[in-house]
Amino acid sequence: MNNIKQVLDSLGIDAENSGISTGRNSWPGSGEMIESYSPVDGSMIAKVSSADKCDYDKVIEVSREAFKVWRMVPAPKRGDIVRQMGDQLRNKKQALGILVSYEMGKSLQEGLGEVQEMIDICDFAVGLSRQLYGLSMHSERVQHRMYEQWHPLGIVGIISAFNFPVAVWSWNAMIAWVCGDVSVWKPSEKTPLTAIACQHIIRTVLIENNLPEGISSVVAGGKEVGQFLAEDSRIALLSATGSTRMGKAVGESVAKRLGKSLLELGGNNAIIVSNSADLSIAIPGIVFGAVGTAGQRCTSTRRVIVHEEIYEDLKNALVKAYGQLKIGNPLEDHIHMGPLIDKMAVENYETAIGKIRKEGGRFVVAPKVLSGGIYNSGCYVAPCIAEVDNNYAIVQTETFAPILYLIKYKYLEEAIEIQNAVPQGLSSSIFTLNIREAEMFLSQTGSDCGIANVNIGTSGAEIGGAFGGEKETGGGRESGSDAWKNYMRRQTSTINYSSSLPLAQGIKFEL
């Protein structure tokens, strides 16, 4: 199935007529047209219309009605619907994986991996649908019972980024749905087609089960649609993934109305390589972390902090490994890295390169914008490595490109300090066979990130854990563990089954 037209057909995409969808109903929005270009070959795949305020309000009204029905469906039954969605995703894995790869530019392996991540979260959510546990507490009063329970929140808004155009939405949507919420998704304007494809898959399940429209909605659009969601008090939770700049704007608007937001923003992820590391696993771990998704994961490895004794060896090994990387059409086998998302991303890569040079960085694997032949779309770059100081302004910022920084250290305490000395706090790891070093890295004086790994790279987290990070990464946690609690409201209830009314704290109040 390599013909893209065939892929679009098999996913039921009618891009010209979509953009806005409440599940059963889809319509062209009255906002601007978004053109979806493939960075792979530069061709325009389709046009998708975006929502104006009127389209948006219509979607929210339908969502509110759907919530009234959906919250009454028992959670395990909601889980069964999500199970069916997972089955549909299994059926469409190949086609959706190809579309992710073609529209976004990541390798087909990673495109398929992304769809697998969606299937995995469906499975997780199905189990969760029978485990939305509350606690019971012992009351201080006689014949009183105290407990907490979890209720659905309402409408969950989801703003997703181009780099994981479908998986991150599914982490939010699948969990929100088993929790009894309905969702409104604003996909990245750079990857609207994959969103339409997902919506089509979900829609078939909702129709088969005779469920109301509005459980799953899509509103295509740019910043202004994000702002509609952020300012709208009908949105009970707004989960947003993207840059720190976007997160600050969204977080501020949501906070102004004292709403709930869940932010998953930029990372500046480092791998510490100790002198006791097994380099045979450290090297592929670093290279995959740095060039996977062309360095456009929020978990991409950006910095490698290397013990001075092995610094030269590791550097040479990385230079050799980079020499073997194949860059090209991500849909072809054996390609390690595809293009960046668009030409603007290439400009950002070039700007960052200029800043690295200006601040004194030395390239050991040279940067290059690739052109001509298979690189005609203008979106391909060579992954590069530079020796830098951690305090360069450019090293302190997240550049969404395959640029890897090498930094030397002598003592582990120093390495941890360097690793933590950035504004972001998403993912981190250490390669070491020394248990003291590993435990120190994981201790309260170790990594300050939301994710801290040992002998594994910074990217490629499994869905079972809570995903997210500290500091400018935004503090939110999505996906596994107890992240579901973000999607529900907690209610504490105290029940008196005695015939008197004792007050808490022993207060006397007599009439």
Tell me which stretch binds ligand UN1 (CB under 6 A): 162-170, 372-380, 381-389, 406-414.
162-170
Binding ligand UN1 (rule: CB under 6 A), the pick from 60, 96, 100, 168 is 168
Q: What angle do CA 124, 254, 466 make, to 5 degrees?
A: 25
Nearest-approach distance from CB 312 to ligand UN1, in angstroms: 29
Tell me which stretch binds ligand UN1 (CB under 6 A): 77-85, 176-184, 221-229, 293-301.
293-301
Q: Is 164 in the site for ligand UN1 (CB under 6 A)?
A: yes
Nearest-approach distance from CB 392 to ligand UN1, in angstroms: 23
Nearer to ligand UN1, 171 or 177 (CB): 171
Nearest-approach distance from CB 109 to ligand UN1, in angstroms: 13
**Beta-bridge partners for 263:** 240
Nearest-approach distance from CB 235 to ligand UN1, in angstroms: 21
DSSP 8-state secondary structure symbol assigned to residue 239: E
Count of residues near ligand UN1 by CB under 6 A: 11
Measured N-to-C along each axis, helices 75-91 and 108-128 cross at an angle, to the nearest 10 degrees, of 160
d(CA 59, CA 40): 33
Tell me how far apart the terminal alpha carbons of the chain are, to the nearest angstrom.
80
Site map (CB under 6 A) of ligand UN1, residues 42-81, x = contact: ----------------------------------------
Distances (CA, A) of 31 to 54, 67, 89: 9, 26, 30
Nearest-approach distance from CB 497 to ligand UN1, in angstroms: 48
**Beta-bridge partners for 452:** 428
d(CA 17, CA 44): 16
Binding ligand UN1 (rule: CB under 6 A), the pick from 12, 134, 378, 460 is 460
Nearest-approach distance from CB 245 to ligand UN1, in angstroms: 15
Which runs of consecutive H residues, i.e. helices, occur in 396-474?
412-420, 435-442
- Token pair listed for 445: 């004086």
Residue nearest to ligand UN1 (CB): 461
Q: Which residues in the 230-249 window bind ligand UN1 by CB under 6 A?
A: 241
Nearest-approach distance from CB 163 to ligand UN1, in angstroms: 5
d(CA 177, CA 181): 5
Q: Is 461 in the site for ligand UN1 (CB under 6 A)?
A: yes
Indicate which residues carry an active-site annotation: 264
Contact 398, 267 (CB under 8 A): yes
Nearer to ligand UN1, 28 or 338 (CB): 338
Binding ligand UN1 (rule: CB under 6 A), the pick from 274, 299, 390, 473 is 299
Cα torsion through 36, 202, 128, 110, rounded to 10: -40
Phi and psi dihedrals of 318, rounded to 5?
-70, -40
Tell me which stretch binds ligand UN1 (CB under 6 A): 93-101, 321-329, 457-465, 481-489.
457-465
Q: Which residues in the 103-142 window bind ligand UN1 by CB under 6 A?
A: 117
d(CA 415, CA 446): 10
Q: Is 459 in the site for ligand UN1 (CB under 6 A)?
A: yes
Q: Is 297 in the site for ligand UN1 (CB under 6 A)?
A: yes
- Token pair listed for 43: 């061709």
Q: Is 465 in the site for ligand UN1 (CB under 6 A)?
A: no
Burial class (CB in 10 A: 0-12, 13-18, 19+), 197: buried
Q: Is 163 in the site for ligand UN1 (CB under 6 A)?
A: yes
Helices H, strands E: what count in the chain? 14, 25
Three-state DSSP class for residue 67: helix
Interaction site with ligand UN1 (CB under 6 A):
117, 163-164, 168, 241, 297-299, 459-461
